[in-house]
Chain A
Amino acid sequence: MTTPESKPRTSPGTTREPVLEVKDLSVSFYVDGEWYAAASEVSYEVYPGEVLAIVGESGSGKTQSSMSLLGLLPSNGRATGSAKLRGKEILNLRGAAARRIRGQEISVIFQEPMTALNPVYTIGFQIVEMLRSHLPLSPSQARERALELLRLVEMPEPERRFDNFPHQLSGGQRQRAMIAQSLACDPTLLIADEPTTALDVTVQAEILKLIRDLKDRFDSGIVLITHDMGVVADMADRVLVMKDGRIVEQGPTRQIFNDPQHPYTQQLLAAVPHFGTHSPETAASGTPAPAATPQEAAAPGAAVESVLELTNLVLEYPKRGSQPVFRAIDDVSFSVGKGEIVGLVGESGSGKTTIGRAAVGLLPIHSGSLKVAGVEMAGVKPKDLKPLRRKVGIVFQDPGSSLNPRFPIGESIGEPLQLHANLKGAELSRRVEELLDQVHLSRAMRNRYPHELSGGQRQRVGIARALALEPELLVADEPTSALDVSVQARVLDLFQELQREHGFGCLFISHDLAVVEMLAARIAVLHHGKLVEIGPAAQVAHHPREAYTQRLVAAVPVPDPDEQQARRAERDALLAAGGPS
């Protein structure tokens, strides 16, 4: 694929027949005696060889409207309207007719390959099963074809991987196996439901490249459901924006990104953190600043007191059964100054969360030193931790899991106050209300339970709880990765506001470089438990010194189709120069 312009444009004027024609599709659910619409009057077309991206926040009906095409709605769901696949009506098919469509005509790439693949069968078996249930193939022919598919999705060592179980593969390999399975019967339409959300950026870039290559080889239409505008900019030919079950805008990708008409689309695009624009590129341009050797960058000048200081820190997970000792963090040193935000980025398994947990005393320290607000954490007894708890707070990744479902949120926020400040009764409730005000939640919410709140509201509660004791250090462990972009933008705004007000130092852990670049003064990059690079945000974002950081930075998709195209070319050049990673 060279440029999108060279592709057959799919305007209504062309003679090409659409693969999928959806007209006035409505999906509703019967809950408690009433029908609630999840999607209403959705109409769109998908042409062969085209990627249509459906974007919208969770709950906007983007997944449900697509699943209704396959007849995969829950039993209390109902779909009306029409959906024609190559001219044939497919909506509300049942039994054998529906099974013929599934897998063969329409196939799905699911978000989480670990749960979408059956853990008790080898991936080879699962691809063969798909082939043989639709096509008249002998077992050996099916095996041949499956191997061919695995080669097609660039699975390393396909013969060996054929007999592997899903848990023996890496996340990217699992997603490749999923893609091979979904392509098995040359589907006319491929629905990719957040295909890369569960993957790291570098793996995501590879998978997206693969899907792009395959799209040109097969002439099928692709419906890409995602909330990541960077992925949309990278992949889509046309974009369809959904809100509250309705299409608010649709058009070619460029038009949507450069000239959004609907206020919601504008708001959505404005909420996406755009990597590379938050720090001035000139700040660290040209030759690296002379003083920026890693050791010096690690210590932010003697004038600033540090609230978190790591020196040659080593963290290990002890031996468990037959699993040997795992060294999660190996010889890492850096520090966080008072009132400074340091971003900690890395792929999954790089040990970034481990550092965060050790900083709040949830993990023992193997060797080296970790000082929080001047107190040494290595070898400390649980009893001595109590005064320290006042100085450090943590915001967890998943707001759904970090609040006790049996506590009203007021009680969750008040717990640290109760335990440390010994606040009771009216004083406690006054302080809880103050905290709720600070995170912009209404005071009436204090008696609600977590399950009644949206993800963004829950995360605000998490922040309020972490700030209850006015800590000097806040560890934020991927606080926005479970949230929608527009909600993320609001939570991040709030976070910055609170940081200015309270002046706490913060270790901001994230896999999203764009978010980190927006917030952090300095960025530390972690890879396989080792610190690769640390430096001012602008320098790491624009002029990364280490090869690994360069690859990481190049893989971040940006929400701008033209810029993303240029970045993609850059990345390919970088990979070609550096050889396979």
Chain B
Amino acid sequence: MAVDRVTSRPTEGSIQGGKTAGWWAGSSLRPIIYGLLVVGALIQVYPIFFLLMNTLKTDTQILNTPFSLPTNFSLAPYVDVWTGDRTGMFFGRYFFNSVIVLAATLVLMLAISCLCGYAMARGQFPGNATLHQVLLLSLAVPAHALAIPLYFFVGSLGLRNSLFGLTLVYAAIGAPFTIILMRAYFMHLPVELEEAARIDGCGRLGVFLRIVVPISRGPIAGMAIININWIWSELFFSLILMNKADVRTLPLAIALYKPAPMTVETVLGLQYAAMALATIPVLILFFLFQRQIASGMTMGAFK
């Protein structure tokens, strides 16, 4: 998207006059600023390193020598939390629950949002402007305020403890923002190609599916990327709607995982392994899509 340009600029390493010419050079503040940056960066990264190291340590090591590195590299804690044989918490299943909800939410939310955003950008129909206003207002509604009726409504549909029910709720929560951004994108999309297809006798839906969606793959993928984070982390509605153990999502399972300290050799290690399970995919994603994520966040900030 358009914003890409901005965030990509630093990586081009433009060493121009005003930018690098010895910032704070000669000032006594310079070492202090460097100190703050280095210490700050360590404070940001160390806890994550600590988390990952602890997945490989025994409880005794975690508690008594927190700074030591793991002595032997064993993936046993990961296998244990994944299968749940020793813990009774089946993180492999929770992981897949989260993956399913994430994928289904993205598909549903993007489908309805693209359709709606496209109609709002291209169509002239009574209520279009009102719809836009309502969507903007809905961004200001905290989802917590919907929780009680949603709990009963989803229950009355028989969709409590259902991954599909959770998907519906997530898609609805994420849709207004996605619609607004997709609408803004479609408004800037040149209309000529679509008009040519219309003259060739293609219907509105045909134009949308055969022309608009294919040329908009980039922005649609961008919207997916910036929505992954909150869906993967969401706790509140999962906690309310998912009461049965086998439908828990990963954040919910981690929040409910209460290891009894010292009963087994590596109870804490297991907890850390479960946390790593939720974190490692996000880290991989981050390194793969750093630029898109940064630009998405930047765009999201204008929400």
Task: Tell me whether A and B are bound partners.
Answer: no
B residues with a Cβ closer than 8 A to A are none
